């Protein structure tokens, strides 16, 4: 009887861990997709002149990006190491090997987003500032994101 309880508990715990991991993977992917949508589909689309300038949409996009900056430090806990990421990309092991380097990238991204919130008031300031956010994305991805093969 005792044994059954222990086994059942262990199984439940294990299943819980797998589910937690799945949720973390999903959280990471959903956040990155939302970032891309706000940056590419809102901010950069305005820079390119595909969409008219809209301060409310800019604010909403920046708010989501700021939220990402807050989530990033806890988005890749050690338990995600080796987790299965479907799709084109997954996290590089360097996230855990070079934690200081990864943190520096997150801090730099957070700083750029905060500055953008203060600076972007019209199309000209958007054009001057928004590409810098994309640079932060690419700068971190180059080292800490891996192409799935």
Partner 1 sequence: MLKRLLLALCVLGVAGLAVFWWLTQPSTIALAAAARAPDLANGQEMFNIGGCSSCHAVPNQPDRLKLGGGLPLESPFGTFYAPNISPDPNDGIGRWSEGEFVNAVLRGVSPGGSHYYPAFPYPSYAAAKVDDVRDLFAYMKTLPPVAGASRPHELPFPFNIRRTVGVWKLLFFDDKPFSADASRSAEWNRGAYLVNTFGHCAECHSPRNPLGGIKTAQRLAGGPDPEGHGFVPNITQKGLSDWSESDISYFLETGQLPDGDSAGGSMARVIRNTSQLTPEDRKAMAVYLKSLPPVEGPPRPKKPAS
Residues that bind partner 1 (CB under 8 A): 35-41, 44, 47-50, 84, 86-89, 131, 134-135, 137-138, 141-142, 145, 147-149
The nearest distance, CB 118 to partner 1, in angstroms, is: 22
The nearest distance, CB 5 to partner 1, in angstroms, is: 31
Residue with smaller CB distance to partner 1, 3 or 138: 138
Residue with smaller CB distance to partner 1, 3 or 84: 84
DSSP string for 85-147: --SSEEE-THHHH-HHHHHHHHHHHHHHHHHHHHH--SHHHHHHHHHHHHHHHHHHHHHHEEE
Residue with smaller CB distance to partner 1, 110 or 145: 145
Closest CA to 30 of 58, 64, 2: 64
Asked if 144 and 102 count as a contact pair (C-beta separation under 8 A), the reply is yes
Residue with smaller CB distance to partner 1, 9 or 99: 99
The nearest distance, CB 129 to partner 1, in angstroms, is: 13
For residue 86, which phi and psi values (nearest 5 degrees)? -75, 160
What is the sign of the dihedral through the CA atoms of 135, 100, 76 and 96?
Answer: positive
The nearest distance, CB 116 to partner 1, in angstroms, is: 15
CA 115, CA 83: separation in Å to the nearest integer?
A: 34
Residue with smaller CB distance to partner 1, 6 or 115: 115
The nearest distance, CB 96 to partner 1, in angstroms, is: 19
């Amino acid at each position: 009887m005792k044994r059954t309880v222990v086994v059942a508990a262990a199984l439940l715990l294990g299943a819980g861990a797998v589910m937690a991991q799945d949720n973390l993977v999903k959280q990471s992917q959903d956040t990155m997709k939302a970032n891309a949508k706000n940056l590419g589909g809102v901010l950069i689309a305005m820079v390119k002149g595909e969409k008219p300038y809209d301060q409310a949409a800019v604010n909403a996009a920046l708010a989501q990006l700021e939220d990402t900056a807050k989530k990033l430090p806890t988005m890749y806990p050690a338990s995600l190491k080796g987790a299965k990421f479907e799709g084109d990309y997954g996290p590089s092991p360097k996230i855990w090997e070079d934690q200081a380097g990864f943190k520096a990238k997150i801090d730099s991204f957070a700083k750029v987003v905060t500055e953008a919130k203060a600076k972007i008031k019209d199309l000209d300031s958007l054009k001057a500032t928004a590409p810098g956010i994309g640079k932060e994305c690419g700068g971190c991805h180059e080292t800490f994101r891996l192409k799935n093969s």
